[in-house]
Chains A and B, each alone.
Chain A
Amino acid sequence: MHLNRTGPTLRAAVITIAALIVALVATVAFAQDSITFDPIAWGSNPGLALTALIGAVAWLRQTPLGKRVDGPLLVPAVTAGIGAVGGALLEVTGLLTLEHFAAHPDPWGGVLYGLALAFSAVTGVSLFNYGASKLRPERQPSAVQWVVDQVRALVPLPSLPAALAAVAPLLAELAQSEAVLTDDLRADLQGRLLTLLRKAGLTGVDL
Chain B
Amino acid sequence: MRRLGIPPRIITLFAALAAVCLTFPACAPIAGEVARAVDNSDGATLTYAHQGLAFDPGLTPAVGVIVRAEGGNLQLLEVPDGATCTVTTTRLDCRLGTVTATTTVGLSGRAIVANATWRRAGSSAVYLTFARP
A-side residues, CB < 8 A to B, are: 1, 3-4, 6-7, 138, 140-143, 146-147, 149-151, 153-155, 159, 162-164, 166-167, 170-171, 174, 179-181, 183, 186-187, 189-207
A1 adjacent to B64 (CB under 8 Å): yes
Interface centre among A159, A167, A192 (most CB of B within 10 A): A167
CB within 8 A of A146: which of B11, B23, B34, B98?
B11
Instruction: Give bound CA distance, A179 to B17, whole Å.
Output: 18
Interface size on B, residues (CB 8 A): 63
B19 adjacent to A3 (CB under 8 Å): no
B-side residues, CB < 8 A to A, are: 6-23, 27-32, 34-35, 38, 48, 50-53, 63-64, 66, 68-71, 84, 91, 93, 95, 97-98, 107-117, 119, 121, 124, 126, 128, 131, 133
CB within 8 A of A155: which of B23, B97, B111?
B23
B20 adjacent to A181 (CB under 8 Å): no
Instruction: Give bound CA distance, A4 to B16, whole Å.
Output: 22
Instruction: Give bound CA distance, A174 to B15, whole Å.
Output: 11
A205 adjacent to B6 (CB under 8 Å): no
* B88 → chain A closest CB, angstroms: 11
CB within 8 A of B10: which of A6, A174, A181, A200?
A181
A150 adjacent to B13 (CB under 8 Å): yes
B70 adjacent to A198 (CB under 8 Å): yes
CB within 8 A of B17: which of A159, A193, A207?
A193
Instruction: Give bound CA distance, A190 to B28, whole Å.
Output: 19
* A171 → chain B closest CB, angstroms: 8
* B3 → chain A closest CB, angstroms: 12
B6 adjacent to A163 (CB under 8 Å): no
Q: A4-B64, A205-B133, A206-B111 are in contact. Are A140 and B23 (CB under 8 A)?
A: no
Contacts of B29 in A (CB 8 A): 201
* A143 → chain B closest CB, angstroms: 4
B9 adjacent to A6 (CB under 8 Å): no
A204 adjacent to B111 (CB under 8 Å): yes
Contacts of A150 in B (CB 8 A): 9, 12-13, 15-16
Contacts of A140 in B (CB 8 A): 6-8
Contacts of B15 in A (CB 8 A): 147, 150-151, 167, 170-171
